[in-house]
Structure 1
Amino acid sequence: MRSPAARADMRLTYDDFVLFPDDGKRHEIIDGEHYVTPAPNVRHQRLVGRLLYEIERYLRANPHAGEVFAAPLDVVLSHFDVVEPDLLFVAGDQTDILTEKNVQGPPALVIEVLSKSTRKRDAQTKRRLFERTGVREYWLVDPELDAVQVFRPTAEGRLARVAELTAEDGGVVTTPLLPGCQIDLRELFRAHI
């Protein structure tokens, strides 16, 4: 068994990350550990596209609110933590975290669309990372259940689930980060155009 100090010396860093191959897969480092995710499926991409469209539409009417970005875009949270969320929103009061190459710090909102290969990592490992680094809101979009879980920080700084909405129940996702933006889950999860 390696000592914690030896383990820390073996953690991957952002310097290692930039050397990963451009192979069509999503590479991430969380606490120095390398994670690889295969390219997403059609339903996943459809959901990301619809969410991007709705948030972008809101931002066109409210241009000072911030900017929304879709993967791939590196989010550097520390030297040992580099992720590529499906979608991220950088609020107008945090534009200083945007660089030409990447995002250097926690976005206001991170959205992940769950898949079989990422479900546990997104729900647990990444949630803890986003909690630790100060993400203001985290959404988990579940295509199996046609549901969205919304997490926001508690007074103690822990990302706690504040809502779980479903298309079946006519759920509408809103956020104080984008006042007036409403995402109808029946429309989000509809089978096709």
Structure 2
Amino acid sequence: MGRSEVQKVGARGLLEEVTVSTIAEPRLMTTEELLALPEDGVDRELIRGVLRARPMTRRNRWHSTVESRLVLFLGTWLNGRPEPRGEIVSGEAGFVLRRDPDSNVGIDVAYVSPEVAAAEPSSPYFEGPPVLAVEILSPSDTQEDIDEKIQLYLETGVAVVWIINAKFRTVTAYRPDAEPIMFSGDQELTAEPHLPGFRVRLGEVFGR
């Protein structure tokens, strides 16, 4: 917290110097500065230029099972699409969603458009938002963190966000121009028109 001196007119009409406290703005970082930080078992992201750090998330068998199954179904769908297809990525795939200030995140599973997949091929991160961003909830996730991530994805151009709750076997879909939709039971999970023709029953995603 910083301090500054200001002047005001006192009760007797005299100028008086008053010390007030000011809250310092957080320092904004770039993706390049983030990449230069040491790997020390800490998860780091940039949210609108502000560094966020927390202990490495511990995955569990349900998280891993859902992630691997979803990648399989999305990969099968993508292989049936005409070229150029884009990419399906997983395992905290890195994305620079937006620059100045930078928002840099790792996503559990994502579908990347051909244009974003082809941009900056030498960079360890994709430059631009994915078409689909999938987050599989972990025990350490808070509702505040989840809400902030959804808002960030939608405002930076992600067309569809899936939040997967493996414990309750639900998928909630978010889009920038529509109300959220929850898929549950043995409904078919779809994402038209952004993933044309993709359909899979939730029972196959979560395992019976």
TM-score (norm 2): 0.77
| Structure 1 Cα separation of the partners of residues 144 and 75 of structure 2 | 27
Alpha-carbon distance change, 58 to 43 in structure 1, aligned in 2, over 3 angstroms: same
- Pairing partner for 2:32 from 12, 15, 19: 15
Q: Structure 1 stretches (4+) deviating beyond 4 angstroms?
A: 1-4
Q: 1:49 aligns with which of 68, 73, 81?
A: 68
2:167 match: secondary structure: coil
8 Å contact from structure 1 (residues 26, 39) kept in 2: no
Cα offset for 1:121? 5.0
Richer in strand (by share): 2
Gaps of 5+ in 1: none
Which residue identity does 2:68 align to in structure 1? G
Amino acid at match of 1:126: K
Q: CA shift at 1:174, angstroms?
A: 0.6
The count of residues paired between Structure 1 and Structure 2 equals 182
1:35 CA drift (Å): 3.1
1:69 to 89, 111, 115: 89
**What is the CA-CA distance between 1:132 and the residue it aligns to?**
1.6
Q: Pick from 132, 138, 147 the counterpart of residue 161 of structure 2.
A: 138
Cα contact 1:114–1:122 (8 A) shared by 2 = no
In structure 2, the residue matched to 1:58 is 77
Q: Could you list the runs of 5+ residues in structure 2 that have no partner in the other structure?
A: 3-21
Match of 2:51 among 10, 30, 33: 33
Q: Distance in 2 between matches of 1:54 and 1:108?
A: 16
Q: In structure 2, how many angstroms separate the alpha carbons of the residues matched to 1:185 and 1:25?
A: 33
Structure 1 residue 117, shift from structure 2 partner: 1.2
Moved more, 130-139 or 56-65: 56-65
Q: Which residue of 2 aligns with 1:90?
A: 112
Q: 21-30 or 81-90, which moves further after superposition?
A: 21-30
Q: What does 1:103-118 align with in structure 2 at a 5 Å threshold? A: 103-118=126-141
TM-score normalised by length of structure 1: 0.82
Give the letter for the 1:48 counterpart: E
Query: In the alignment, is the contact (CA less than 8 A) between 2:63 and 2:136 conserved in 1?
Result: yes
Q: Distance in 2 between matches of 1:122 and 1:183?
A: 28
**Post-superposition shift, 1:95?**
3.8
User: Could you tell me which residue of structure 1 aligns to residue 189 of structure 2?
Assistant: 173
Closer, same or farther: CA 164–153 of 1 in aligned 2, 3 Å = same
Distance, in Å, in 2 between the alignment partners of 1:59 and 1:111 is 16
Deviations 1:137-157 (A, max 9, x none): 100011121000011121xxx
> Secondary structure in 1 aligned to 2:52?
strand
